[in-house]
Amino acid sequence: MNWEKRIGKLRKKFGEKNIEAVLITNPANIFYLSGFTGSAGFIFAAPEKAYLITDFRYEEQAEKEISLQIFDLVICSTKIIDRIKDLVESENIKRLGIEAKHMTVDFYNELNEKLSRCSLIPVTGIVEELRTVKDEEEIDRIKKAAQIADSAFDYIIKFIKPGLKEIEVAAEIEYFMRRNGASKASFDIIAASGERSALPHGTAGERKLGNGNLLLMDFGAVYKGYCSDITRTVVIGKASEKQRKVYDIVFEAQNRALETAAVNMTCSELDGLARSVIAEYGMGDKFGHSLGHGVGIEVHEAPAVSKNSREVLSPGMVITIEPGIYIKGWGGVRIEDMVLVTEKGLQVLTFSTKELLEI
Ligand code: ZN
Ligand code: ZN
Protein backbone atom coordinates (compact mmCIF):
# COMPACT_ATOMS: atom_id res chain seq x y z
CA MET A 1 0.00 0.00 0.00
CA ASN A 2 1.20 3.49 -0.80
CA TRP A 3 1.00 5.06 2.65
CA GLU A 4 2.89 8.17 1.64
CA LYS A 5 0.36 8.93 -1.07
CA ARG A 6 -2.53 8.47 1.34
CA ILE A 7 -1.09 10.81 3.96
CA GLY A 8 -0.29 13.27 1.16
CA LYS A 9 -3.90 13.24 -0.02
CA LEU A 10 -5.09 13.72 3.55
CA ARG A 11 -2.84 16.77 3.98
CA LYS A 12 -4.21 18.24 0.75
CA LYS A 13 -7.59 18.38 2.43
CA PHE A 14 -6.38 20.50 5.32
CA GLY A 15 -6.95 23.73 3.37
CA GLU A 16 -10.46 22.81 2.29
CA LYS A 17 -11.40 21.94 5.88
CA ASN A 18 -9.60 24.98 7.27
CA ILE A 19 -7.38 23.02 9.64
CA GLU A 20 -3.61 22.78 10.18
CA ALA A 21 -3.50 19.16 11.33
CA VAL A 22 -5.91 16.36 12.14
CA LEU A 23 -6.40 13.77 14.85
CA ILE A 24 -7.76 10.52 13.39
CA THR A 25 -9.79 8.44 15.83
CA ASN A 26 -11.86 6.16 13.57
CA PRO A 27 -10.14 2.73 13.57
CA ALA A 28 -11.11 2.11 9.91
CA ASN A 29 -9.45 5.39 8.93
CA ILE A 30 -6.37 4.58 11.01
CA PHE A 31 -6.11 1.23 9.19
CA TYR A 32 -6.53 2.95 5.81
CA LEU A 33 -3.83 5.50 6.50
CA SER A 34 -1.30 3.26 8.24
CA GLY A 35 -2.22 -0.44 8.15
CA PHE A 36 -2.43 -0.47 11.97
CA THR A 37 -5.11 -2.88 13.19
CA GLY A 38 -4.84 -2.37 16.96
CA SER A 39 -8.02 -1.44 18.76
CA ALA A 40 -6.50 1.48 20.66
CA GLY A 41 -4.63 4.17 18.81
CA PHE A 42 -4.69 7.55 17.12
CA ILE A 43 -3.05 9.15 14.14
CA PHE A 44 -1.97 12.73 14.51
CA ALA A 45 -1.17 14.05 11.05
CA ALA A 46 0.69 17.35 11.18
CA PRO A 47 1.88 19.32 8.11
CA GLU A 48 5.30 17.63 7.96
CA LYS A 49 5.21 14.71 10.34
CA ALA A 50 2.68 12.00 11.10
CA TYR A 51 2.44 10.13 14.40
CA LEU A 52 0.83 6.87 15.35
CA ILE A 53 0.04 7.03 19.04
CA THR A 54 -0.79 3.87 20.95
CA ASP A 55 0.12 2.09 24.18
CA PHE A 56 2.61 -0.64 25.09
CA ARG A 57 0.14 -3.48 24.37
CA TYR A 58 0.41 -2.66 20.67
CA GLU A 59 4.06 -1.72 20.40
CA GLU A 60 5.27 -4.85 18.66
CA GLN A 61 2.21 -5.07 16.45
CA ALA A 62 2.52 -1.43 15.37
CA GLU A 63 6.19 -1.86 14.54
CA LYS A 64 5.27 -4.72 12.23
CA GLU A 65 2.21 -3.14 10.65
CA ILE A 66 3.11 0.47 9.99
CA SER A 67 5.85 2.15 7.99
CA LEU A 68 8.28 3.72 10.42
CA GLN A 69 9.58 5.91 7.60
CA ILE A 70 6.21 7.60 7.41
CA PHE A 71 5.05 7.47 11.00
CA ASP A 72 6.74 8.33 14.24
CA LEU A 73 5.55 5.62 16.58
CA VAL A 74 4.62 7.07 19.97
CA ILE A 75 4.11 4.54 22.75
CA CYS A 76 2.36 6.04 25.76
CA SER A 77 3.04 4.87 29.22
CA THR A 78 1.07 7.74 30.74
CA LYS A 79 -2.31 9.10 29.69
CA ILE A 80 -2.63 9.10 25.93
CA ILE A 81 -4.39 12.46 25.95
CA ASP A 82 -1.35 14.09 27.58
CA ARG A 83 0.89 12.85 24.78
CA ILE A 84 -1.52 14.19 22.19
CA LYS A 85 -1.41 17.56 23.95
CA ASP A 86 2.41 17.55 23.93
CA LEU A 87 2.58 16.67 20.25
CA VAL A 88 -0.02 19.26 19.21
CA GLU A 89 1.86 21.92 21.17
CA SER A 90 5.29 20.94 19.88
CA GLU A 91 3.94 21.10 16.30
CA ASN A 92 2.49 24.49 17.18
CA ILE A 93 -0.98 23.63 15.85
CA LYS A 94 -3.69 26.24 16.41
CA ARG A 95 -6.52 24.59 14.45
CA LEU A 96 -6.77 20.84 14.97
CA GLY A 97 -9.30 18.83 12.98
CA ILE A 98 -11.09 16.10 14.90
CA GLU A 99 -13.39 13.42 13.52
CA ALA A 100 -16.80 14.61 14.66
CA LYS A 101 -18.42 11.19 14.28
CA HIS A 102 -15.67 9.33 16.09
CA MET A 103 -15.00 11.06 19.37
CA THR A 104 -16.85 10.71 22.64
CA VAL A 105 -18.13 13.81 24.40
CA ASP A 106 -15.90 12.93 27.35
CA PHE A 107 -12.77 12.77 25.23
CA TYR A 108 -13.71 15.99 23.44
CA ASN A 109 -14.23 17.85 26.69
CA GLU A 110 -10.95 16.66 28.12
CA LEU A 111 -9.00 17.43 24.96
CA ASN A 112 -10.61 20.83 24.69
CA GLU A 113 -9.66 21.65 28.26
CA LYS A 114 -6.06 20.53 27.80
CA LEU A 115 -5.49 22.24 24.47
CA SER A 116 -6.36 25.69 25.69
CA ARG A 117 -4.43 27.45 22.93
CA CYS A 118 -5.70 25.31 20.07
CA SER A 119 -9.20 25.21 18.54
CA LEU A 120 -10.73 21.83 17.88
CA ILE A 121 -12.45 21.84 14.49
CA PRO A 122 -14.98 19.03 13.94
CA VAL A 123 -14.66 17.56 10.45
CA THR A 124 -16.58 14.71 8.80
CA GLY A 125 -15.54 12.45 5.97
CA ILE A 126 -11.98 13.73 5.66
CA VAL A 127 -10.62 10.18 5.23
CA GLU A 128 -13.88 8.51 4.20
CA GLU A 129 -13.92 10.66 1.04
CA LEU A 130 -10.47 9.35 0.11
CA ARG A 131 -11.57 5.79 0.80
CA THR A 132 -14.44 5.86 -1.73
CA VAL A 133 -12.02 5.37 -4.64
CA LYS A 134 -10.04 2.17 -4.26
CA ASP A 135 -6.55 1.53 -5.57
CA GLU A 136 -5.44 -1.67 -7.24
CA GLU A 137 -4.29 -3.43 -4.08
CA GLU A 138 -7.56 -2.66 -2.36
CA ILE A 139 -9.54 -3.92 -5.35
CA ASP A 140 -7.53 -7.16 -5.33
CA ARG A 141 -8.37 -7.74 -1.67
CA ILE A 142 -12.04 -6.93 -2.24
CA LYS A 143 -12.14 -9.34 -5.19
CA LYS A 144 -10.68 -12.06 -3.03
CA ALA A 145 -13.23 -11.33 -0.28
CA ALA A 146 -15.98 -11.54 -2.91
CA GLN A 147 -14.59 -14.83 -4.18
CA ILE A 148 -14.72 -16.33 -0.69
CA ALA A 149 -18.37 -15.27 -0.38
CA ASP A 150 -19.15 -16.77 -3.79
CA SER A 151 -17.65 -20.11 -2.86
CA ALA A 152 -19.56 -20.02 0.43
CA PHE A 153 -22.77 -19.68 -1.56
CA ASP A 154 -21.86 -22.64 -3.78
CA TYR A 155 -21.18 -24.60 -0.64
CA ILE A 156 -24.27 -23.60 1.32
CA ILE A 157 -26.79 -24.42 -1.39
CA LYS A 158 -25.62 -28.01 -1.17
CA PHE A 159 -25.89 -27.94 2.63
CA ILE A 160 -29.37 -26.43 2.95
CA LYS A 161 -32.29 -28.75 3.57
CA PRO A 162 -35.73 -28.49 5.18
CA GLY A 163 -35.65 -28.69 8.97
CA LEU A 164 -32.36 -26.84 9.41
CA LYS A 165 -32.45 -23.76 11.60
CA GLU A 166 -31.54 -20.37 10.15
CA ILE A 167 -28.78 -20.07 12.73
CA GLU A 168 -27.26 -23.34 11.48
CA VAL A 169 -27.19 -22.00 7.94
CA ALA A 170 -25.50 -18.80 9.14
CA ALA A 171 -22.97 -20.69 11.25
CA GLU A 172 -22.11 -22.99 8.36
CA ILE A 173 -21.54 -20.04 6.00
CA GLU A 174 -19.26 -18.38 8.53
CA TYR A 175 -17.32 -21.55 9.25
CA PHE A 176 -16.81 -22.15 5.53
CA MET A 177 -15.59 -18.60 4.92
CA ARG A 178 -13.13 -18.72 7.80
CA ARG A 179 -11.76 -22.04 6.66
CA ASN A 180 -11.27 -20.54 3.22
CA GLY A 181 -9.21 -17.46 3.96
CA ALA A 182 -11.59 -15.01 5.64
CA SER A 183 -10.44 -13.52 8.94
CA LYS A 184 -14.10 -13.17 9.89
CA ALA A 185 -17.55 -12.49 8.47
CA SER A 186 -17.95 -8.86 7.44
CA PHE A 187 -21.14 -8.55 9.55
CA ASP A 188 -23.60 -10.80 11.41
CA ILE A 189 -24.82 -13.15 8.72
CA ILE A 190 -28.46 -12.81 7.78
CA ALA A 191 -30.36 -16.01 7.09
CA ALA A 192 -34.07 -15.22 7.22
CA SER A 193 -36.70 -17.68 6.07
CA GLY A 194 -40.43 -17.71 5.41
CA GLU A 195 -42.22 -14.57 6.60
CA ARG A 196 -39.00 -13.53 8.39
CA SER A 197 -37.39 -12.87 5.00
CA ALA A 198 -39.55 -9.73 4.92
CA LEU A 199 -37.25 -8.24 7.58
CA PRO A 200 -34.50 -6.62 5.50
CA HIS A 201 -32.03 -7.09 8.37
CA GLY A 202 -33.46 -10.17 10.03
CA THR A 203 -30.50 -11.87 11.64
CA ALA A 204 -30.51 -15.64 11.73
CA GLY A 205 -32.79 -17.11 14.37
CA GLU A 206 -34.21 -20.39 15.61
CA ARG A 207 -36.75 -20.72 12.82
CA LYS A 208 -36.54 -23.95 10.87
CA LEU A 209 -36.53 -24.00 7.09
CA GLY A 210 -39.84 -25.33 5.84
CA ASN A 211 -40.97 -26.52 2.48
CA GLY A 212 -41.98 -23.67 0.18
CA ASN A 213 -40.14 -21.04 2.26
CA LEU A 214 -38.11 -18.23 0.84
CA LEU A 215 -34.64 -18.10 2.37
CA LEU A 216 -32.76 -14.81 2.17
CA MET A 217 -29.04 -15.03 2.89
CA ASP A 218 -26.93 -11.88 3.17
CA PHE A 219 -23.28 -12.33 4.07
CA GLY A 220 -19.71 -11.40 3.33
CA ALA A 221 -16.12 -12.13 4.22
CA VAL A 222 -13.25 -10.00 5.44
CA TYR A 223 -9.99 -10.64 3.63
CA LYS A 224 -6.86 -8.74 4.70
CA GLY A 225 -9.03 -6.00 6.17
CA TYR A 226 -11.42 -5.65 3.21
CA CYS A 227 -15.07 -6.71 3.08
CA SER A 228 -17.42 -8.37 0.67
CA ASP A 229 -21.22 -8.29 0.76
CA ILE A 230 -23.66 -10.42 -1.22
CA THR A 231 -27.31 -11.46 -0.93
CA ARG A 232 -29.09 -14.34 -2.57
CA THR A 233 -32.66 -15.49 -2.04
CA VAL A 234 -33.60 -19.10 -2.71
CA VAL A 235 -36.70 -21.24 -2.24
CA ILE A 236 -36.82 -24.39 -0.14
CA GLY A 237 -38.68 -26.85 -2.32
CA LYS A 238 -40.75 -25.57 -5.19
CA ALA A 239 -41.26 -21.86 -5.84
CA SER A 240 -44.80 -20.56 -5.98
CA GLU A 241 -45.97 -18.32 -8.79
CA LYS A 242 -45.93 -15.28 -6.54
CA GLN A 243 -42.39 -16.02 -5.30
CA ARG A 244 -41.22 -16.30 -8.86
CA LYS A 245 -42.97 -13.10 -9.89
CA VAL A 246 -41.52 -11.08 -7.01
CA TYR A 247 -38.08 -12.55 -7.68
CA ASP A 248 -38.25 -11.60 -11.36
CA ILE A 249 -39.15 -8.01 -10.52
CA VAL A 250 -36.18 -7.67 -8.15
CA PHE A 251 -33.95 -9.30 -10.74
CA GLU A 252 -35.14 -6.91 -13.44
CA ALA A 253 -34.64 -3.91 -11.13
CA GLN A 254 -31.10 -4.99 -10.37
CA ASN A 255 -30.32 -5.57 -14.03
CA ARG A 256 -31.60 -2.15 -14.98
CA ALA A 257 -29.19 -0.58 -12.52
CA LEU A 258 -26.28 -2.84 -13.47
CA GLU A 259 -26.67 -2.22 -17.19
CA THR A 260 -27.53 1.46 -17.22
CA ALA A 261 -25.15 2.84 -14.62
CA ALA A 262 -22.36 5.01 -15.95
CA VAL A 263 -19.53 7.11 -14.62
CA ASN A 264 -20.58 10.62 -13.58
CA MET A 265 -24.12 9.53 -12.82
CA THR A 266 -25.17 10.56 -9.32
CA CYS A 267 -25.86 7.85 -6.76
CA SER A 268 -29.45 9.06 -6.49
CA GLU A 269 -29.94 8.60 -10.24
CA LEU A 270 -28.57 5.07 -9.94
CA ASP A 271 -30.93 4.37 -7.04
CA GLY A 272 -33.81 5.70 -9.15
CA LEU A 273 -33.08 3.29 -12.01
CA ALA A 274 -33.85 0.22 -9.91
CA ARG A 275 -36.55 1.90 -7.84
CA SER A 276 -38.55 2.88 -10.92
CA VAL A 277 -38.71 -0.74 -12.12
CA ILE A 278 -40.17 -1.88 -8.79
CA ALA A 279 -42.57 1.06 -8.83
CA GLU A 280 -43.72 0.16 -12.37
CA TYR A 281 -44.98 -3.13 -10.93
CA GLY A 282 -46.84 -1.26 -8.21
CA MET A 283 -44.48 -2.36 -5.46
CA GLY A 284 -42.57 0.86 -4.87
CA ASP A 285 -43.67 0.95 -1.23
CA LYS A 286 -42.21 -2.53 -0.64
CA PHE A 287 -38.65 -1.39 -1.36
CA GLY A 288 -37.93 0.64 1.75
CA HIS A 289 -34.14 0.83 1.85
CA SER A 290 -31.54 2.40 -0.38
CA LEU A 291 -30.19 0.63 -3.44
CA GLY A 292 -26.68 0.16 -2.13
CA HIS A 293 -23.59 1.46 -0.42
CA GLY A 294 -19.84 1.59 -0.74
CA VAL A 295 -17.85 -1.41 0.48
CA GLY A 296 -14.22 -1.52 1.53
CA ILE A 297 -12.59 -1.53 4.94
CA GLU A 298 -16.10 -1.23 6.33
CA VAL A 299 -18.99 -3.18 4.91
CA HIS A 300 -21.07 -0.02 4.81
CA GLU A 301 -19.09 3.02 3.80
CA ALA A 302 -19.33 5.99 1.48
CA PRO A 303 -20.80 6.54 -1.02
CA ALA A 304 -24.41 5.91 -0.06
CA VAL A 305 -26.38 4.77 -3.11
CA SER A 306 -29.67 6.28 -2.02
CA LYS A 307 -32.45 8.61 -3.11
CA ASN A 308 -30.82 11.65 -1.56
CA SER A 309 -27.18 10.94 -2.33
CA ARG A 310 -25.62 13.57 -4.56
CA GLU A 311 -22.31 11.71 -4.73
CA VAL A 312 -21.13 10.97 -8.24
CA LEU A 313 -20.01 7.56 -9.50
CA SER A 314 -16.27 7.61 -10.13
CA PRO A 315 -13.97 4.93 -11.48
CA GLY A 316 -12.50 2.88 -8.64
CA MET A 317 -15.55 3.04 -6.38
CA VAL A 318 -16.82 -0.30 -5.12
CA ILE A 319 -20.54 -0.33 -4.31
CA THR A 320 -23.40 -2.77 -3.91
CA ILE A 321 -26.57 -2.95 -5.98
CA GLU A 322 -29.22 -4.56 -3.79
CA PRO A 323 -32.86 -3.94 -4.60
CA GLY A 324 -35.45 -5.87 -2.60
CA ILE A 325 -39.18 -6.34 -2.16
CA TYR A 326 -40.48 -7.07 1.34
CA ILE A 327 -44.08 -8.07 1.95
CA LYS A 328 -45.09 -8.22 5.59
CA GLY A 329 -46.38 -11.63 6.65
CA TRP A 330 -45.38 -13.20 3.33
CA GLY A 331 -41.65 -12.77 2.89
CA GLY A 332 -39.01 -10.89 0.99
CA VAL A 333 -36.58 -11.13 -1.87
CA ARG A 334 -33.29 -9.28 -2.21
CA ILE A 335 -30.52 -9.75 -4.73
CA GLU A 336 -27.23 -8.05 -3.97
CA ASP A 337 -24.02 -7.88 -5.93
CA MET A 338 -20.84 -5.92 -5.50
CA VAL A 339 -19.60 -3.90 -8.44
CA LEU A 340 -16.56 -1.88 -9.36
CA VAL A 341 -17.26 1.41 -11.13
CA THR A 342 -15.16 1.63 -14.28
CA GLU A 343 -15.00 4.01 -17.25
CA LYS A 344 -17.09 1.49 -19.16
CA GLY A 345 -19.79 1.06 -16.53
CA LEU A 346 -20.19 -1.39 -13.68
CA GLN A 347 -17.99 -4.47 -13.42
CA VAL A 348 -19.64 -7.14 -11.29
CA LEU A 349 -17.40 -8.67 -8.60
CA THR A 350 -19.76 -11.36 -7.25
CA PHE A 351 -20.65 -14.23 -9.53
CA SER A 352 -23.03 -16.51 -7.60
CA THR A 353 -25.91 -17.63 -9.78
CA LYS A 354 -29.00 -15.44 -9.85
CA GLU A 355 -31.27 -18.02 -11.29
CA LEU A 356 -34.04 -18.64 -8.71
CA LEU A 357 -32.80 -21.80 -7.02
CA GLU A 358 -35.27 -24.36 -5.71
CA ILE A 359 -33.44 -26.36 -3.08
ZN1 ZN B 1 -25.55 -7.42 2.21
ZN1 ZN C 1 -25.13 -4.48 1.37
Whichever domain contains 266, its CATH number is: 3.90.230.10
User: Based on the domain organization, do 225 and 289 belong to the same domain?
Assistant: yes
pLDDT of 78 over the 90 cut: no
CATH of the domain at 66: 3.40.350.10
User: Based on the domain organization, do 214 and 325 belong to the same domain?
Assistant: yes
User: Based on the domain organization, do 189 and 163 belong to the same domain?
Assistant: yes
Q: Which residues pair with 21 in a beta bridge?
A: 96
Distance 108 CA to ligand 2 centre (A): 32
Mean pLDDT along residues 26-52: 97
State the ligand closest to the CA atom of 319.
2
Contact 325, 250 (CB under 8 A): yes
Distance 83 CA to ligand 1 centre (A): 40
Q: 131, 164, 181: which is the final residue of a domain? A: 131
Mean pLDDT along residues 133-159: 98
Mean pLDDT along residues 228-251: 98
pLDDT value of residue 201: 86
354 within domain boundaries: no
Where residue 165 falls among pLDDT bands split at 50, 70, 90? very high
Mean pLDDT along residues 24-44: 97
353 within domain boundaries: no
- Say whether the peptide bond before residue 303 is cis (omega within 30 degrees of 0): yes
pLDDT value of residue 261: 96
Distance 110 CA to ligand 2 centre (A): 37
State the ligand closest to the CA atom of 291.
2
State the ligand closest to the CA atom of 292.
2
pLDDT tens digits along 290-302: 999 999 999 999 9
Mean pLDDT along residues 120-144: 98
Distance 131 CA to ligand 1 centre (A): 19
Mean pLDDT along residues 270-288: 98
Percent of the chain with pLDDT over 90: 98
User: Based on the domain organization, do 149 and 64 belong to the same domain?
Assistant: no
User: Based on the domain organization, do 159 and 304 belong to the same domain?
Assistant: yes
Residue 162 carries which side chain, given as an amino acid letter?
P
User: Based on the domain organization, do 108 and 167 belong to the same domain?
Assistant: no
Where residue 148 falls among pLDDT bands split at 50, 70, 90? very high
User: Based on the domain organization, do 191 and 105 belong to the same domain?
Assistant: no
184 within domain boundaries: yes
Contact 191, 204 (CB under 8 A): yes
326 within domain boundaries: yes
Burial of 316 (0-12, 13-18, 19+ CB in 10 A): middle
User: Based on the domain organization, do 40 and 160 belong to the same domain?
Assistant: no
pLDDT tens digits along 306-354: 999 999 999 999 999 999 999 999 999 999 999 999 999 999 999 999 9
Mean pLDDT along residues 116-139: 97
For residues 122 and 120, give the distance between their C-alpha atoms in angstroms, rounded to a whole number: 6
Q: 3-state secondary structure string, the chain?
A: CCHHHHHHHHHHHHHHHCCCEEEECCHHHHHHHHCCCCCCCEEEECCCCEEEEEEHHHHHHHHHHCCCCCEEEEEECCCHHHHHHHHHHHCCCCEEEEEHHHCCHHHHHHHHHHCCCCEEEEECCCCHHHHCECCHHHHHHHHHHHHHHHHHHHHHHHHCCCCCEHHHHHHHHHHHHHHCCCCEECCCCEEEEHHHHHCCCCCCCCCECCCCCEEEEEECEEECCEECCEEEEEECCCCCHHHHHHHHHHHHHHHHHHHHCCCCCEHHHHHHHHHHHHHHCCCHHHCCCCCEEECCCCCCEEEEECCCCCCECCCCEEEEECCEEEECCCEEEECEEEEEEECCEEEECCCCCCCCCEC
215 within domain boundaries: yes
User: Based on the domain organization, do 322 and 244 belong to the same domain?
Assistant: yes
For residues 202 and 331, give the distance between their C-alpha atoms in angstroms, rounded to a whole number: 11
Phi, psi of 325 (to 5 degrees): -130, 125
pLDDT of 200 over the 90 cut: no
327 within domain boundaries: yes
For residues 350 and 251, give the distance between their C-alpha atoms in angstroms, rounded to a whole number: 15
User: Based on the domain organization, do 104 and 234 belong to the same domain?
Assistant: no
Q: Give the CA distances from residue 63 to residues 150, 202, 359, in Å, rounded to whole numbers and listed in that order.
A: 35, 41, 50
pLDDT value of residue 55: 94
Instruction: Give the domain extent around 250.
Output: 136-348
306 within domain boundaries: yes
- pTM (predicted TM-score): 0.96
Contact 41, 23 (CB under 8 A): no
pLDDT value of residue 130: 97
User: Based on the domain organization, do 146 and 107 belong to the same domain?
Assistant: no
Distance 294 CA to ligand 2 centre (A): 8
Over the chain, what is the mean pLDDT?
97
pLDDT value of residue 202: 86
Q: 109, 131, 153: which is the final residue of a domain? A: 131
User: Based on the domain organization, do 111 and 148 belong to the same domain?
Assistant: no
Q: Give the total number of structural domains in the chain.
A: 2
Distance 294 CA to ligand 1 centre (A): 11
Distance 228 CA to ligand 2 centre (A): 9
221 within domain boundaries: yes
Q: 131, 156, 188: which is the final residue of a domain? A: 131
